[in-house]
Chain A
Amino acid sequence: MLKADPNLWNLITGLLTGLVFGFLLQRGAVTRFRTIVGQFLWTDHTVLRTMLTAVVVGSIGVYAMHQLWDVPLHLKSATLLANALGGLIFGIGMAVLGYCPGTGVGAMGEGSRHAIFGVLGMLTGAALYAEVYPWVKATILPVGDLGKTTLAVQTGLSPWIIILVLAAAAGALFAILACRGHCSHHRAEPRLSPR
């Protein structure tokens, strides 16, 4: 019943990719409860900095390879109600657990014991979803189904324009967050010192 992919290349490259991914996530400290909850409390911006940098850097290479060498994209269907509703449930769970699926597995690797219970919960959540899938497929997935589409296709703009806007927006956000860190220190200190 449990088949393995006979293509050994897939298994080896998957393992290598995971090793690098796990190493990077752990070094970036996003495998920590404090980092993830801190992001949602808006006191630690490691998660946004990591994700937005990955997205901008990744997009440049992937779109270049797609246009130059026909490297295929792997888009997921825009089933808008399901994407939004799933995101809401995911976000609530992530704030309570303090990990997402990948960082939860990484957290187990760096010694988090409560992450083990999180992963057990994830397995339960996956099994629950499998039970309700026929109902979800019939009622939720068809609502707002745009198919496998991108912001470039929807707006009619070149993907490069969107990547440029995204990079500029990410850069601006990083600058604002960095400045606010300094500014709040400078502002807080004189007010506290007279006491």
Chain B
Amino acid sequence: MLNLLNRSRWSPYVVGAGIGILSWITFGLMHKALGTSTSFVSAAGAIESLVAPDHVRANEYFVKTFLGEGKFFLDWQMMLVIGLFLGALISARLGRSYHVEKVPELWASRFGPGRARRYAAAFLGGVLVLFGARLADGCTSGHGISGGLQLAVSSWTFFISFFAAGLITAMLVYGKAGRRHAQG
């Protein structure tokens, strides 16, 4: 067991089974399903409320997500997202795999080592990721794992759709040279 804790990388089957069992616990004991992207709406609304509180209070989606009756800003899922950050940090430190990455190698092989370009692309990618997740009503956790394991029609539709879009986009962006680089 201690040996496993020291190993910096675990088999995807061990990790997958672990997440599956974690889902048993969240469904059975907490009456919740793993998810993360809703908390980004609460966080965005909280930040926006610093400059335009009335605008946020009047927004239907913010009310539905964290301002309305029985909804909270700091809730189970927001704590999960905070825990996720800390859990990854602890794991990386214990497994000695913490490392500062500014521009990933694969990205640099295609677009050069410039930081500004990478940071701008990451930002735009992030905009699409969360906008898409909210339109679909879930992300790789809420739909991909929690919805997938419940055999939800919504989630399997999302899964097929995002995976196909990811495959096509990556092939278009990196091409064959990128594939070779990723393999090597």
Footprint of B on A, CB under 8 Å? 1-5, 10-31, 33-34, 37-46, 49-62, 65-66, 69, 71-80, 82-115, 117-131, 133-134, 136-137, 140, 146, 148-152, 154, 159, 162-163, 166
Contact = CB atoms under 8 A, between A and B. Distances in A.
Contacts of A12: 79
A14 B75 contact: yes
| Dominant SS among interface residues on chain B | helix
Interface residues of B, number: 139
Contact of A120 (B91, B126, B159): B126
A11 B130 CA distance: 24
A89 B135 contact: yes
Given A24-B18, A55-B148, A91 B164 contact: yes
| Dominant SS among interface residues on chain A | helix
B75 to A, nearest CB: 5
Given A21-B22, A27-B15, A53-B20, 15 more contacts: A1-B53, A17-B22, A21-B80, A24-B22, A31-B88, A46-B12, A77-B154, A83-B158, A85-B135, A86-B132, A97-B121, A104-B126, A110-B88, A125-B127, A126-B44
B3 interface: no
A10 to B, nearest CB: 4
A173 to B, nearest CB: 12
B44 A41 contact: no
Contacts of B16: 28, 49-54, 57
A26 B118 contact: no
B156 A74 contact: no
B80 A101 contact: no
A26 B87 contact: yes
Interface string B163-184: 1111101110110001100110
A11 B71 CA distance: 13
B59 to A, nearest CB: 5
A101 B182 contact: no
B73 to A, nearest CB: 4
B73 A62 contact: no
Nearest to B84: A22
Interface string B86-122: 1111111001011111111111000000000011111
Given A42-B179, A93-B129, A4 B135 contact: no
Nearest to A28: B15
Contacts of A75: 147, 150, 152, 154
A78 B90 contact: no
